[in-house]
């Protein structure tokens, strides 16, 4: 496969993200099979995710050369322009001529030949100063939030929120983190075979890096772990370290009755099921197709004994007996995963935070109704927003007289045995004992989790 074919994959992925509401990671996973060379897969991934991360700045630069905003052009033309400028600006190993010519070819392949001369002219004009720092291009005139949002390619409303809550230094760190490729972290399902598994991954050409949060976690680079024997045989899975940490907070023991209420895609269910050892484990989700995908995942992991249930977690749950351990990994805005899923920053609207809040509160209340006395529940999201995190917890606790947060010391004791060398549990917990990771500080996604106890 040629580099041009890799660009075709990226072009089609970007088209589907824009036109169909697809997620880039899902499209790339489907398109980048074993027959695609590693170099081509890497280029297609870099172009797709890079253009999505930097879309606002790319459009700002393109608009200066166009008579009308790039966002109003035919979608195929807009994508070709963004891809071309991204290569000129961020991929120094690609000759400018190739970046321009390939973008022109993409327009022709999309049957928009009438726009070929426009694409050629605009990209050639931009090529001379394409790598000029954004701080030198964007004038100081816009308001601080607007300027930061353009320079770092985020929606202004997000940047305003973060500035107000985090301050400029932490906000800029977060913006930088969101525009870097995230670590490709893995969870080890057979820790007793760690050395053997890591050697097999290195033999497959991957480079191994130690975990930054968890002792058993590791990260890989230089290839796709999903293409390895270790993945096929269920020895490893791909999962962010913060996501791996969440189920550990429940401290599940053999014989526990465990409910994973929003379980798909199943990454957090697996450690719960293994820890429960003979107990009842129920994994629930609202969508049948996601339950089918989970079943396939559990087959790869050789994981048995998990009951899959289709249900709406905002309504009365259909269980006769209570559970003593419940995980509510709630649907959320995903603002802690903007490096991994950059399209979210362009789709999410401010009003949706209130909608997510209502959904999350309803789920949490139903889950607590099914929590046994002296039982524990973990509520988690991959969101950075207080409406979805501490404010959801506060609203539920305000009316739940017999439920309280677990103390910081208890949460710390649950987490400490699993942490990487040099990592202190207190650095991951706030004053209320709530678990938080910050992409600009922990080299992970941004996660929130609160551990609740029913008296």
Tell me the pLDDT of the chain averaged across its residues: 95
Q: What tens digit of pLDDT does each residue of 189-200 get?
A: 999 999 999 999
Give span(s): CATH 3.30.70.1170, the chain: 184-238
Domain 3-132 grouped into CATH 1.10.940.10: yes
Give span(s): CATH 3.40.50.150, the chain: 241-454
Chain-centre distance for alpha carbon 403: 30
Which residue is associated with the tokens 């208890």?
A: 410
DSSP 435: E
- Candidates 188, 200, 445; CA nearest to 335 is 445
Q: What tens digit of pLDDT does each residue of 144-173 get?
A: 999 999 999 999 999 999 999 999 999 999
pLDDT at position 440? 84
Domain 184-238 grouped into CATH 3.30.70.1170: yes
Chain-centre distance for alpha carbon 35: 26
Cα separation, 182 vs 350, whole angstroms:
25
Cα separation, 394 vs 381, whole angstroms:
15
Q: What tens digit of pLDDT does each residue of 177-193 get?
A: 999 999 999 999 999 99
Region 208-229: mean pLDDT is 93
**CA 442, 445, 448, 451 torsion-angle sign:** negative
The winner for highest mean pLDDT among 40-44, 138-142, 328-332 is 328-332
pLDDT level of residue 35 (50, 70, 90 thresholds): confident
Region 381-405: mean pLDDT is 97
Cα separation, 427 vs 421, whole angstroms:
13
Q: Are strands 281-285 and 306-310 parallel, antiparallel or unpaired?
A: parallel
Q: Are strands 184-188 and 207-210 parallel, antiparallel or unpaired?
A: unpaired
- pTM here is 0.95
pLDDT at position 2? 43
**CA 287, 291, 292, 296 torsion-angle sign:** positive
Q: Looking at the predicted structure, is the pLDDT value of residue 3 above 70? A: no
Q: Looking at the predicted structure, is the pLDDT value of residue 437 above 90? A: yes
The winner for highest mean pLDDT among 25-29, 302-306, 332-336 is 332-336
pLDDT level of residue 395 (50, 70, 90 thresholds): very high
pLDDT at position 349? 98
Active site amino acids: 382
Of 165-169, 223-227, 415-419, the range with the lowest mean pLDDT is 223-227
Query: What is 241-454's CATH topology?
Result: Rossmann fold (3.40.50)
* The pair of three-digit structure tokens given for residue 402, joined into one six-digit string: 């017999």
Region 4-28: mean pLDDT is 95
Give span(s): CATH 1.10.940.10, the chain: 3-132
């Amino acid at each position: 496969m040629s580099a041009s074919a890799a660009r075709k994959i990226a072009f089609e992925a970007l088209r589907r993200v824009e036109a169909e509401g697809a997620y880039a990671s899902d499209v790339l996973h489907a398109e980048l099979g074993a027959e695609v060379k590693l170099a081509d897969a890497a280029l297609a991934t870099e172009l797709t995710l890079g253009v999505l991360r930097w879309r606002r700045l790319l459009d700002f630069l393109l608009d200066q050369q166009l008579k009308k905003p790039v966002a109003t052009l035919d979608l195929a033309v807009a994508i070709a322009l963004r891809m071309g400028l991204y290569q000129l600006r961020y991929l120094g190993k690609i000759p400018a001529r190739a970046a321009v010519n390939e973008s022109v070819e993409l327009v022709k392949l999309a049957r928009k030949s009438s726009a070929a001369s426009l694409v050629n002219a605009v990209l050639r004009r931009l090529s001379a100063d394409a790598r000029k720092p954004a701080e030198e291009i964007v004038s100081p005139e816009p308001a601080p939030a607007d300027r930061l949002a353009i320079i770092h390619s985020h929606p202004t409303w997000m940047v305003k929120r973060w500035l107000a809550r985090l301050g400029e230094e932490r906000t800029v760190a977060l913006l930088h983190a969101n525009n870097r490729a995230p670590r490709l972290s893995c969870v080890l399902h057979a820790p007793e075979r760690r050395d053997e598994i890591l050697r097999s991954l290195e033999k497959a050409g991957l480079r191994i890096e130690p975990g930054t949060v968890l002792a058993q976690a590791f990260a890989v680079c230089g290839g796709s772990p999903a293409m390895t024997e270790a993945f096929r045989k269920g020895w490893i899975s791909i999962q962010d370290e913060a996501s791996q940490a969440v189920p550990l907070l429940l401290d599940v023991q053999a014989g526990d009755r465990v409910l994973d209420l929003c379980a798909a895609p199943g990454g957090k269910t697996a450690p719960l099921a293994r820890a429960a050892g003979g107990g009842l484990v129920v994994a629930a989700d609202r969508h049948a197709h996601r339950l089918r995908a989970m079943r396939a995942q559990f087959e790869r992991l050789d994981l048995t004994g998990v009951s899959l249930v289709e249900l709406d977690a905002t309504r009365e749950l259909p269980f006769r007996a209570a559970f003593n351990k419940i995980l509510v990994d709630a649907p959320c805005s995903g603002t802690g995963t903007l490096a991994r899923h950059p399209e979210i920053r362009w789709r999410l609207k401010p009003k949706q935070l209130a909608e997510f809040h209502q959904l999350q509160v309803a789920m949490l209340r139903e889950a607590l109704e099914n929590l046994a006395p002296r039982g524990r529940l973990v509520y988690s999201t991959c969101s950075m927003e207080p409406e979805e995190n501490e404010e959801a917890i506060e609203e539920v606790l305000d009316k739940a007289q017999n439920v309280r947060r677990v103390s910081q010391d208890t949460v710390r004791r649950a987490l400490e045995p699993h942490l990487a060398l040099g990592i202190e549990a207190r650095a991951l917990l706030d004053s209320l004992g709530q678990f938080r990771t910050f992409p600009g500080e922990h080299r992970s996604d941004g996660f929130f989790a609160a551990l609740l106890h029913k008296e």
